[in-house]
Amino acid sequence: MRIDNVTLRFGGLVANRDVTLDVTRGEILGLIGPNGAGKSTLFNLISGTYQPSAGRILFEGEDITRLPAPERCRRGIARTFQVPRSFDSMNVVENVIVGGLARHPGAAAARRAAIETLDFVGLKHRADAVAGELTPPEKRRLEVARALATGPRVLLLDEVLTGLTPSEARAGVELIRKVAERGVTVIMVEHVMEVVMPLVHRAVVLHLGRVLAQGLPTEVVRDEAVITAYLGERHRAA
């Protein structure tokens, strides 16, 4: 996937400006930055919720800049949301079937895919539970399962580790690694730096809608501009 010089304006507000990124298959890319940096907005551009004011988005060599979100999903781009969007009155497997129908038009095939996906994310034992009764960590896993059921080649994870206990976050990290091992490209937004940096292959720092720095995690955390804009003096001292 290539994000090519993408800009998004809302009237006089520039949410993303001249963002260029290349992401390779099976890579785990971390998007970090302060609140309001443009991370979730970039996810909205990639997934098709928004269309850029300028620039292009290329996926597997094709220009998908003007494709609507459902078509991007069918082509293999899936996402989660900061606040899980489960159908709380439905049970867990029904929630995942909704995602599976994007890839499997038949109900039986979608159900089989849903059960396999729940097993993969560790929620098979909760398949018949009402989604609204899940714990917060389980709801985050359900959110991932719904996205995976669409059969993505690119998975956008929006703060799926935020608010978890250390042990829950470690389990989440292992799940993300397993996803990438399947050849799925993962682009993730997170604020839990100590969890994200050992996980991602590359880190991209956004600030005021622009790419401030990108590279190996060990390089990015030493970047003076990143320390000044995001990490703070305490990090330099450490």
What residue spans define the domains of the chain?
A: 21-51+68-76+153-238, 86-151
Predicted structure pTM score = 0.93
Mean pLDDT of 13-34: 94
Report the side by side order of strands in the sheet with 54-59: 13-22, 2-10, 54-59, 62-63
Please give the average per-residue pLDDT across 73-88, as a whole number: 92
Q: Which two tokens stand for residue 97?
A: 């079937």
Lowest mean pLDDT among 2-6, 91-95, 110-114: 110-114
For residues 38-52, average pLDDT? 96
CA angle, residues 188, 60, 79, in degrees to nearest 5: 30
Residue 236 — pLDDT band, cuts 50, 70, 90? low
Of 100, 94, 51, the closest CA to residue 74 belongs to 100
Give the mean pLDDT of the chain. 92
Architecture of domain 21-51+68-76+153-238: 3-Layer(aba) Sandwich (3.40)
Are 187 and 157 in contact by the 8 Å Cβ rule? The answer is: yes
Tell me the torsion sign for CA atoms 148, 154, 158, 161.
positive
Residue 95 has pLDDT above 90, yes or no: yes
* Whether the predicted pLDDT of 162 surpasses 90: no
Residue 234: which pLDDT band, with cuts at 50, 70 and 90? low
Q: Do 151 and 75 meet the contact criterion of CB atoms below 8 Å apart?
A: no
